[in-house]
């Protein structure tokens, strides 16, 4: 399985620092969004992404258990930083990513998530969110209390229910995806989804073939829509004879 990627990040038009971080490697790709309003939120995403890098560099074939262990290690790394630097106590970060893993039935892509950064999959011309937001508004939407449109403007839309940096390590959601040649995956912070609709995101992914150009176009769309937050985008294209 061959995976090509493009990635882009921007501080946006409002914030002074970019609290996002991302990693694009050989077999692991990820986005982390330092939690706004927490102490040293621009620092929190760094230790998490470093654990993703170490996962990519680890020997042997990856599996779902190794991915879960890496997310737990990322949580521990954020906590360790706060112990060394007491002034950063309370910082947190989301983490969403994709890892290429082995399986008895062939290669798979393991999507993993903690928080409200998102993973999408574009297949057969249809864009679908793979990850599930760990947020107050997603819980309200799932219960039918608010609609998806209401969730986009709800006053609790930035309140997450899981993040890295907690004494009790949060459970990461994981999904094993069967890769198909021609699939396109998107990882992004909420600086994209808070500004650009899923329909507009799908249009860019459908009409811009190069993954780097697509990542740049999505960031530009978020900035044109207001750029109220940091925005980070990773676009992954699946190809090769090993993909189904």
- 5 conformational bin, left if phi > 0, alpha if psi -120 to 50, beta if neither: beta
In angstroms, rounded to a whole number, what is the distance separating the alpha carbons of residues 188 and 22? 9
CB 8 within 8 A of CB 219: yes
State the chain's mean pLDDT as an integer: 91
Classify the C-alpha dihedral 58-64-66-70 as positive or negative. Answer: positive
The pTM (predicted TM-score) of the whole model is 0.92
pLDDT tens per residue, range 217-231: 999 999 999 999 999
In angstroms, rounded to a whole number, what is the distance separating the alpha carbons of residues 180 and 237? 10
**Residue ranges per domain, the chain?**
2-239
- Please tell me what DSSP assigns to residue 169: P
What backbone torsions phi and psi does residue 42 show, to the nearest 5 degrees? Answer: -70, -15
Classify the C-alpha dihedral 50-53-58-62 as positive or negative. Answer: positive
Q: Identify the pLDDT of residue 39.
A: 53
pLDDT mean over 24-44 = 80
Q: Identify the pLDDT of residue 83.
A: 85
Residue 55's pLDDT band, with cuts at 50, 70 and 90, is very high
- Greater model confidence, 205 or 106: 205
Q: Identify the pLDDT of residue 101.
A: 97
Domain 2-239 has CATH 3.40.1390.10: no
Residue 42's pLDDT band, with cuts at 50, 70 and 90, is low
In angstroms, rounded to a whole number, what is the distance separating the alpha carbons of residues 143 and 137? 10
pLDDT at residue 235 is higher than 50? yes
User: Side-chain half-sphere of 143: how many Cα atoms within 13 Å?
Assistant: 8
pLDDT at residue 90 is higher than 80? no
pLDDT mean over 113-124 = 97
pLDDT tens per residue, range 1-11: 899 999 999 99
pLDDT tens per residue, range 151-186: 777 877 778 899 999 888 889 999 999 999 999 999
- Greater model confidence, 17 or 100: 100
Q: Identify the pLDDT of residue 151.
A: 78
């Amino acid at each position: 399985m061959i995976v090509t990627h493009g990635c882009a990040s921007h501080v946006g038009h409002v914030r002074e620092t970019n609290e996002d971080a991302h990693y694009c490697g050989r077999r692991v790709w990820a986005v982390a969004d330092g939690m706004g309003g927490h102490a040293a939120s621009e620092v929190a995403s760094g230790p998490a992404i470093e654990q993703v890098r170490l996962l990519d560099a680890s020997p042997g074939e990856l599996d779902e258990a190794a991915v879960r262990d890496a997310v737990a290690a990322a949580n521990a790394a954020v906590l360790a930083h706060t112990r060394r630097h007491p002034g950063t106590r309370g910082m947190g970060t989301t983490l969403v990513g994709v890892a290429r893993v082995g399986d008895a039935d062939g290669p798979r892509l393991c999507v993993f998530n903690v928080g409200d950064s998102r993973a999408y999959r574009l297949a057969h011309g249809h864009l679908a969110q793979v990850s599930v937001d760990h947020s107050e508004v997603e819980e309200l939407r799932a219960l039918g209390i608010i609609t998806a449109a209401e969730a986009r403007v709800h006053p609790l839309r930035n309140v997450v229910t899981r993040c890295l940096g907690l004494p009790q390590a949060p459970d990461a959601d994981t999904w094993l995806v069967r890769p198909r040649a021609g699939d396109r995956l998107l990882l992004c912070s909420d600086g994209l989804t808070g500004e650009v609709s899923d329909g507009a995101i799908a249009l860019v992914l459908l009409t811009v073939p190069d993954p780097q150009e697509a990542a740049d176009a999505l960031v530009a769309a978020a900035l044109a829509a207001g750029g109220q937050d940091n925005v980070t985008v990773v676009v992954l294209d699946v190809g090769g004879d090993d993909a189904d």
